[in-house]
A and B are shown apart, each in its own frame.
Chain A
Amino acid sequence: MAHSIVPPYLLARIAETDSASMQRAASAARRSLRSEPAVRAERRREGLAAPLPTASAPAGATLKRTIADAANTELLPGLVVRTEGAPPSDDPAVNEAYDGLGATHALLLSAFGRNSVDGHGLPLDATVHYGDDYDNAFWDGARMVFGDGDGEVFNRFTASLSVIGHELAHGVTQYTAALVYEGQSGALNESFSDVVGALVEQHARGQRADDASWLIGEGLFTAQVEGKALRSMVAPGTAYDDDVLGRDPQPADMAGYVETRDDNGGVHLNSGIPNRAFALAAIELGGFAWERAGRVWYDVISGGVLSDASVSASGGAGSNEGGGANGRIGTSEHGGAGVSSGSGPARLGTRATFAEFADATVVSAKALYGDGSAEAAAIEAAWVTVGVRSDDRAAAG
C-alpha cells in the first residue's frame, strides 16, 4: 500500500466531523480481555493512608528498548538501528523514540509501580520512518509505529512526548481494562491515553498540574497550521483553528457530546469530556498530577481496588490486601456495575460508559484517600463540571 507522496491536505476536502450521513455503520469490535495478576498481586492497599506509589514498584524492573527504521516503507518491524544502552543515533527520530519510550517507562514505574506496558517488563519496541509522508503514530498491539508526517501539516510524530506516551498507554489499556475501542468505552480508552501522554510529559519536565499546558501533540503541527496541538485536555475545542483543518472539534462537556459513526463513534472527539474532568481534578488538587488524580485513573484502568469485590462503593479499602490478585475487570456486555453509588463493588467493564468510569474514579478515590478526602471531592466536582455526573449524584455519592 502506497500513500500519496504530496501532502494530501493542501487540496483535500476537509470533512465536517459530524457528517455521519455518508458513513456506513462501523462494525462493532471487541477488545480481548487480558489480566495481569502478578502486578495486581503487588498492588497492596494499606487503607486510607495511601502508600507512596514507588512503594509498590516491582523489584528488578528493567527497560529494554529497540528502535527500528522502516525506511519509509510499511514493512514492520524494519531494520534495528538502536538498542538499549547504545549511544544516540544521528537520526533525531530514532533518539526521540528511544527517549520517549524511556520517559513513558519511567512514569509507569515510578508513579504507578508498573513494570512496563504489560506490567511484566515487556520490552519496548518502536519503528520510525514508517510509510511515505505518513501522518500518524500508532500502537499495533506489540510495538509503537511512527510516521514522518507530510511536512506540510504534520512534522514527524516522534516530536511529541505526549503522543509517545499516548500510544504506549493504548498498550497498557490493552493489557488491563481492555476498553472496547468504540463509542464511550473507546473515548475512555482514548482519554486514558491522553492522560498518560500528558503525565509522561509533565513527569519528564517535573511540572506541576497548574504549570502544565495540558496539550496533547504539541509541536506536531508545522508552522503553516494555525494551532498549538492536536488536543487540549483542559480546554477541549481550543487546540487549533485553521482554515484548512477547521476548528478543533472536541466537546468540553456532555452537552457537546458528538454522535457519529466516524472514528469508531467519535473516540477522538468525545475523549475531550473525560480529558477535561481529569485536568480539572488534577489542577484542583495541585501538585504533580500523576500523584493523586493520575493514581486514581490508573487504579481504575488497572483494576486496582475495584477488582476486589470486598471493596464497597463507600470505600472499605482496609480489607482488600492483595485481593485483586486474580480480580478481572468486569466483562459484562454493558460494562458491569458501578452505575448506582453505594451499591457494592464498581468494576469497570470493557464497554464502560462515561458515567460508569466516573463512578469508578470516585469509588477508587474514596478507597485510596478516604470518603471525605479532597481527592474524592475534586474528582466528583470535575465530573459534575463536564456534565457526566449531576450535583445530586455527587452529593449522594
Chain B
Amino acid sequence: MTEQQQDDRDGDVADRGPALHERGSEAAPRGAMRITVSRSGGVAGLAPRWSVTVTEEKDVDSWLSLVESCPWDAPDPAGEAEPDRFVYTIRVLQPDHERDARVPERALDGPWAELVDRVKHASR
C-alpha cells in the first residue's frame, strides 16, 4: 500500500469540509453536497468507507436526483441480522439538510445499490 493511499484516508464524518461550513444555511438550495458510504460486517470485519464531495451545480443536480430516488423514509427492513453479511450506512450532508440510512446487504438494490456503486467509483 502506498503513501498516497494512506494520505487519502478520510477524517471523521463530522469534518464536512470548508465548502459546507462556509456556505452555511444561506447557501443556494442546491449547494455543495457530501455523500459517505460506510460498510461494516463481513467475515473479515473490516470497515471501509467511501465518500464524494460535490460542488459543481450540475454535478449536484445529478447526484441529488439519484439521492432523492432512494427510499430514505422506508422502515428498516424486517428480519434478523445475518451473520457475516455487510451493512451499509449511507449519509448525505448538505448545508442545511442531512439524512442517513442503514441498509443491510440483502436490501441493497435499486437506487441504493446505484448510489453506493456510484460513490465507490467516484471516490477512487
Contacts and interface: CB of A to CB of B under 8 A. Distances in A.
B113 interface: yes
Interface residues of A, number: 64
B6 A269 contact: no
A22 B91 contact: yes
B42 A135 contact: yes
Interface in A217-260: 217, 220, 224-226, 230-231, 242-245, 250
Nearest to B80: A29
A136 B50 contact: no
Contact of A4 (B42, B86, B109, B121): B121
DSSP class of B's interface residues: helix, strand, loop or mixed? loop
B9 A14 contact: yes
Contact of A264 (B43, B46, B81): B81
A230 B41 CA distance: 13
B51 A154 contact: no
B9 to A, nearest CB: 6
Contacts of B124: 6, 8, 10-11
Contacts of A396: none
A148 to B, nearest CB: 14
A21 B13 contact: yes
B94 interface: no
A170 B42 CA distance: 13
Given A22-B13, A27-B76, A244 B1 contact: yes
Contacts of B32: none
Interface stretch (A90-98, A138-146, A299-307): A138-146
Given A24-B100, A189-B83, A13 B51 contact: yes
Nearest to B46: A245
A8 B41 contact: no
A217 B12 contact: no
Given A8-B120, A137-B43, A244-B1, A22 B38 contact: yes
Given A23-B89, A31-B80, 9 more contacts: A14-B9, A22-B38, A22-B89, A24-B89, A136-B44, A217-B43, A217-B44, A262-B38, A268-B41
Interface of A: 1-4, 6, 8-17, 19, 21-24, 26-27, 29-32, 135-141, 154, 157, 163, 166-167, 170, 173, 180-182, 186, 189-190, 193, 217, 220, 224-226, 230-231, 242-245, 250, 262-264, 268-269
